[in-house]
């Protein structure tokens, strides 16, 4: 038997492959517009999973992530990188992702102890290091360009700051992100970090980014890159904490359910992959806010775009969920042509549907629920009154949807943001203004640096040129 030490990646639209992890990660998107997935999911036996029980977070991360990385990073380097990433210096808790019991059979997994207080740090702290590692090998430099309405920008900056081979340019709409969110970006004074406040709204920022990425000459000359949620390295980093939580609750002999506050479907996709790798999962609950495209899909089999609604859980205010394509690919026997047609329908008709039997298959593992702002405030208030714990509005969506879908197994809600990141909503629900953790207590009196630019792609291009 030949043991493949190199994991191949294929595109969800059937028109591209990547020979290894490095190629898939550095490309981001596949050349046919699809998303890279591994040609096969590595699978662990129950015995092997049981043996993970006493590993520390970063040791477990190595076991889960290394089969996907293959030969792209030598074992010793990957171990070192993971020990650095998932250390209490970066995730400010000895357990990195502590599991907390709120009620009998109901838990939250706190994923908000990282530098920007949201679960995106788990993926972006890893991705920043992976990019820098591969770039150092090739002697290249990249310019990361992105737009943010708040959360992703700060997590991307925290993951890239100070890295030698990366510059990062993040556009935010001037005066339209919260004080905490802005300061989490603009108080980072590292030389390679450039915050740009655009005179416009979030859509303007996104359109500028699209326009600049659509300029092939500029993109090539400045080696432009993105860190968006479809990058495979971000997904793999998120698989780890499903195993970590489940092992503490008795897996693999005990099944576990997870409820996941969902926007782009990256986080819950990682839970699905954990299940494919052998973790016994009873249900995965797709918890959406009033932007409920996925809940409507699970209920009707039709995936239909609607305008974005602004809610108390802004990091889930999305029109479509880009990573959902990876799930659809698997549930259509990995036939890229089918996915290509569906995406075509989405682009032209603003919707597509799946067959009843496909929907029924998906429904065996997944459940869903949509939670509106009124319920969000009620849940935060009730959990606080009954347990003394403050949860943030995103976590509240997860908790409520989870509670509505409990079967036999313990239900773990992923707590995706720290309550102090969304203090107004939490105060409204509990009467108590949640405080920032001590490592961020300086945030409100630290100096800020950002550049204000007009809503014109040319201005942004000039700024990038001037800073290279």
Ligand X SMILES: *Cc1c(COP(=O)(O)O)cnc(C)c1O
User: What is the binding site for ligand X (CB under 6 A)?
Assistant: 118, 120, 151, 229, 261-267, 315-316, 394, 416-417
Q: Which is nearer to ligand X, 52 or 265 (CB)?
A: 265
Nearest approach, Cβ of 401 to ligand X (angstroms)? 12
Give the Cα separation of 228 and 292 in Å (integer): 21
Q: Are strands 302-304 and 351-353 parallel, antiparallel or unpaired?
A: antiparallel
Strands (E), 345-424: 351-353, 366-370, 411-415
Overall residue count recorded for the chain in this entry? 468
Q: Which is nearer to ligand X, 342 or 421 (CB)?
A: 421
Nearest approach, Cβ of 54 to ligand X (angstroms)? 29
Q: What angle do CA 68, 69, 75 make, to 5 degrees?
A: 125
Nearest approach, Cβ of 356 to ligand X (angstroms)? 26
Q: Which residues contact 86 (CB under 8 A, 6 or more apart)?
A: 57, 58, 61, 96, 125
Nearest approach, Cβ of 39 to ligand X (angstroms)? 23
Q: Which is nearer to ligand X, 219 or 428 (CB)?
A: 428
Q: Which residues contact 77 (CB under 8 A, 6 or more apart)?
A: 133
Taking each continuous run of H as one helix and of E as one strand, the counts in the chain are: 19, 16
Q: Which is nearer to ligand X, 229 or 290 (CB)?
A: 229
Of 120, 255, 283, 342, the active-site residue reads 120
Nearest approach, Cβ of 138 to ligand X (angstroms)? 29
CA-based nearest residue to 114, from 416, 397, 446 = 416
Nearest approach, Cβ of 234 to ligand X (angstroms)? 9
Q: Which is nearer to ligand X, 261 or 410 (CB)?
A: 261
Give the Cα separation of 435 and 419 in Å (integer): 8
Give the Cα separation of 200 and 454 in Å (integer): 8
Give the Cα separation of 132 and 257 in Å (integer): 36
Q: Environment class of residue 257 by beta-carbon count within 10 Å: exposed (0-12), middle (13-18) or buried (19+)?
A: buried
Tokens 């799930």, located at residue: 327
Q: Which is nearer to ligand X, 16 or 267 (CB)?
A: 267
Nearest approach, Cβ of 263 to ligand X (angstroms)? 3
Query: Do 420 and 432 meet the contact criterion of CB atoms below 8 Å apart?
Result: no
**CA-based diameter of the chain, in Å?**
63
Give the Cα separation of 391 and 403 in Å (integer): 15
Q: Which is nearer to ligand X, 14 or 261 (CB)?
A: 261
Q: Which helix (H) or strand (E) holds 147?
A: strand 142-147
120 is catalytic: yes
Active centre residues (catalytic): 120
């Amino acid at each position: 038997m030949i043991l493949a030490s190199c994991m191949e990646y294929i595109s969800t639209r059937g028109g591209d492959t990547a020979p290894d992890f490095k190629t898939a990660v550095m490309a981001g998107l596949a050349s046919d517009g699809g998303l890279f997935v591994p040609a096969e999911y590595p699978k662990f036996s129950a015995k092997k999973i049981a043996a993970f029980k006493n590993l520390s977070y970063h040791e477990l991360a190595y076991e889960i992530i290394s089969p996907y990385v293959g030969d792209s990073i030598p074992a010793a380097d990957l171990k070192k990188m993971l020990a650095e990433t998932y250390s209490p210096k970066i995730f400010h808790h000895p357990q990195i992702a502590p599991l907390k019991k709120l009620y009998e059979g109901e838990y939250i997994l706190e994923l908000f102890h990282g530098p920007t207080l949201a679960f995106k740090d788990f993926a972006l702290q890893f991705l920043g290091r992976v990019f820098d590692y591969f770039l150092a090998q090739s002697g290249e430099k990249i310019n990361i360009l992105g737009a943010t309405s708040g959360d992703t920008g700060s997590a991307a900056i925290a993951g890239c700051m100070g890295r030698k081979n990366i510059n990062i340019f993040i556009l935010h709409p001037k005066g339209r992100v919260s004080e905490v969110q802005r300061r989490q970006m603009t108080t980072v004074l590292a030389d390679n970090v450039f915050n740009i406040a655009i005179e416009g709204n979030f859509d303007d920022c996104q359109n500028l980014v699209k326009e600049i990425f659509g300029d092939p000459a500029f993109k090539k000359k400045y080696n432009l890159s993105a860190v968006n949620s479809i990058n495979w390295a971000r997904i793999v980093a998120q698989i780890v904490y499903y195993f970590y939580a489940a092992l503490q609750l008795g897996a693999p002999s005990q099944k576990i359910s997870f409820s996941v506050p969902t926007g782009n479907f990256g986080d819950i996709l990682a839970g699905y992959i954990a299940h494919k790798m052998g973790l016994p999962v009873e249900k995965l609950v797709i918890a959406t806010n009033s932007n409920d495209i996925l809940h409507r899909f699970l209920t009707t089999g039709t995936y239909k775009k609607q305008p974005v609604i602004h809610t108390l859980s802004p990091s889930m205010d999305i029109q479509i969920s880009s990573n959902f394509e990876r799930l659809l690919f698997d549930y259509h026997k990995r036939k890229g042509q089918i996915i290509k047609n569906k995406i075509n329908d989405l682009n032209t008709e603003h919707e597509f549907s799946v067959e009843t039997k496909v929907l029924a298959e998906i429904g065996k593992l997944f459940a869903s629920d949509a939670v509106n702002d009124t319920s969000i405030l009620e849940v935060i208030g009730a959990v606080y009154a009954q347990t003394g714990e403050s949860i943030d509005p995103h976590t509240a969506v997860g908790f409520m949807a989870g509670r509505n879908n409990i079967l036999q197994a313990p239900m773990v809600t992923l707590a995706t943001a720290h309550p102090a990141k969304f203090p107004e909503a939490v105060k409204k629900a509990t009467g108590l203004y949640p405080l920032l953790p001590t490592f961020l207590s300086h945030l409100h009196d630290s100096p800020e640096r950002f550049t204000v630019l007009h809503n014109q792609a040319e201005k942004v291009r000039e700024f990038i040129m001037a800073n290279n």
